[in-house]
Amino acid sequence: MQRRSVRASSALLCALGAILIGCTVYDSELVISNGGLTGGGSKTTGGSKSEAGSGLSGTSGTDGGKGSTAEAGSSGSGGTKLEPEGGAPTEGGEGSGGHAGIGGAAGNGGSASQGGGAGANAGTSGSAGNGGSGGTAPLAKCSDHALTEKPTWKATASSESLGSGTEADGLYNPAVHMTDGSYTERWSSGKTQVGDEWIQIDFGALVNLTGLTLNVNSDAGDYPRAYELRVSNTSEDFAAVVRASGEGMPGNTVMTFPMLTARYVTVRQTGMNTETAAWWTIAEVFAVCIGP
């Protein structure tokens, strides 16, 4: 009873105030909601953010049972749009170059990065391999061009002592005596050495040589004062390359050299005999080939 009286009094006072200044009558059981003044209804919560991006709109508040119409609930804020999974495609790397070798193989192409992208560029071509080195020439053998028999050799000379022209004469020293196999017979130049003398041996065919000896037997002082040895395939070729040379010494003159192939061998006496009037003398010529 007391409560109604209070409410009636409040209503009466408010009615009077409304006339004077205006007022609104509230029921003490009504509450103020976030969505506005409602009777029994309350403000509906705004829509939540959707996975797709935009949020749902909030639903309107329901009418209060006793109060005035509730205000509409606030619209839900728009959801944030999600980026698709996976980053932007990246471009594939370039393939590495192929290794050098025979005909250099091409490098492998690079693979595309995950997530897709432009195809990888082709690898660069490998450089060509180096060519093989040439083989060595076969080793020459003495048997390839064996020495011919000594009786077939033919000896000639720039000059010779012929004496009376008979073997009984000690001054009969033709060039043929250099290859006749007799140490008691000799060839002699017939004059003092002045540097323009020469002797030549024709083997009759190509032969391989590694040495030549000029034997003087007992005439040790008749050695060449200086000499040059040449070989060729033509007779008396004094422009051929010198293969051996040196200063002579009393006694036999022995010449050695790398294996040579030729038909003719020529020895020139290039020194001056200023000590004596000795001739250039050869009792026998010996040729050898030492090797495989």
* Range of weakest confidence among 115-119, 126-130, 250-254: 115-119
Identify whether 188 is part of a domain: yes
Identify whether 156 is part of a domain: yes
Residue span of the structural domain in which 254 resides: 143-288
* Range of weakest confidence among 126-135, 184-193, 258-267: 126-135
Q: Which residues of 79-105 are buried (b: 16+ CB within 10 A; e: fewer)?
A: beeeeeeeeeeeebeebebbeeeeebe
Identify whether 70 is part of a domain: no
Identify whether 53 is part of a domain: no
Distance from chain centroid for Cα 107:
17
Handedness of CA 146, 152, 154, 160 (dihedral sign): positive
Same domain, 33 and 147: no
* CATH number assigned to the domain comprising residue 217: 2.60.120.260
Identify whether 27 is part of a domain: yes
Q: What total number of domains does the chain contain? A: 2
Token duo for residue 96: 């590495």
81-94 residue pLDDT tens:
444 444 444 443 44
- Mean pLDDT taken over the chain: 72
Same domain, 22 and 156: no
Identify whether 179 is part of a domain: yes
171-228 residue pLDDT tens:
999 999 999 999 999 999 999 999 999 999 999 999 999 999 999 999 999 999 999 9
Handedness of CA 230, 233, 237, 241 (dihedral sign): negative
Identify whether 236 is part of a domain: yes
Identify whether 125 is part of a domain: no
Q: How confident is the model at residue 132, as a pLDDT? A: 61
Same domain, 149 and 18: no
Q: What is the DSSP string of 103-119?
A: T-PBPPPPPPPTT--SP
Q: How confident is the model at residue 252, as a pLDDT? A: 98
pTM assigned to the model:
0.55
34-80 residue pLDDT tens:
433 333 444 434 444 434 344 334 444 444 444 443 344 444 444 44
